[in-house]
Amino acid sequence: MENAIPACMRRVLPLLLCLYGVASVSGATLERLSLDDLTQKSTDIVRARVVGSFADLRGTAIYTHWKIQVTDRWKGSGGSAIEVLVPGGDANGLHQEVPGAPRLKQGAEYLLFLWTSKSGATYITGWGQGVFSLTQNTANDWIASRAALGETMLDHKTWLPVQDEGVQMRYTDMATQVSATLARGAAR
């Protein structure tokens, strides 16, 4: 008697086990995005300062609306103020945590990779992957950085889990890389 598991199940079973393993991990599951991916998928890339926020309840979901003042724009067109929606927050006496959702701070300065939906709402590309804190080092160079995210990440080519790595680079170097990616995209 041949193998008791049909040939089609032998092919599908490893995939089902992998999906079960990914689904059983708590938190969000995100596609890992490179800086080039973030650049290509974003409708806007801006340097901005958070100037305010409020949260509202939409059905059963709470969204925090972050008001940002744009100081530099690398991609996109629009005004000097943008409202960015992030899932989670406090509204109507309720609190909602959303695993993987980025956290912004009033008064902080960021480099943000954003995308605008067909409805006109603007979100952060790749959740926390699209938020880079801006600080100055001892040489007064601006540094764009983000810590490694603790959420489950999948490689977009293999769809296998991968470990996220934080990013830290000089602001001018990031500007150069983003500009090169945009130029390659425009040349296609």
pLDDT tens string 51-69: 999 999 989 999 999 999 9
Lowest mean pLDDT among 5-9, 61-65, 108-112, 170-174: 5-9
Cα–Cα distance for residue pair 51/48, rounded to 1 Å: 9
Q: How far apart are CA 128 and CA 176, in angstroms?
A: 22
- Cβ(30)–Cβ(101) below 8 Å: no
Mean pLDDT of the residues in the chain: 87
* Residue 188 pLDDT class (50, 70, 90 cuts): low
Q: How do residues 121-157 score in pLDDT, each as one tens digit?
A: 999 999 999 999 999 999 999 999 999 998 888 988 8
Say whether pLDDT at 92 is over 70: yes
Q: For the residues 155-184, what does the mean pLDDT come to?
A: 94
β-strands 29-31, 152-154 pairing: parallel
Residue 5 is predicted with a pLDDT of: 52
pLDDT at position 9 over 80 = no
Fold (topology level) of 27-187: OB fold (Dihydrolipoamide Acetyltransferase, E2P) (2.40.50)
140 CB-near residues (< 8 Å, 6+ apart): none
pLDDT at position 42 is: 98
Q: Write phi, then psi, for 136 (nearest 5 degrees).
A: -105, 140
Selection from 1-5, 14-18, 60-64 with the highest mean pLDDT: 60-64
The reported pLDDT for the residue numbered 23 is: 40
* Mean of pLDDT values over 16-32: 54
| Least confident segment among 6-20, 77-91, 159-173 | 6-20
Query: Are 104 and 86 a contacting pair, CB within 8 Å?
Result: yes
Q: Using 50, 70 and 90 to split pLDDT, how confident is the model at 10?
A: very low
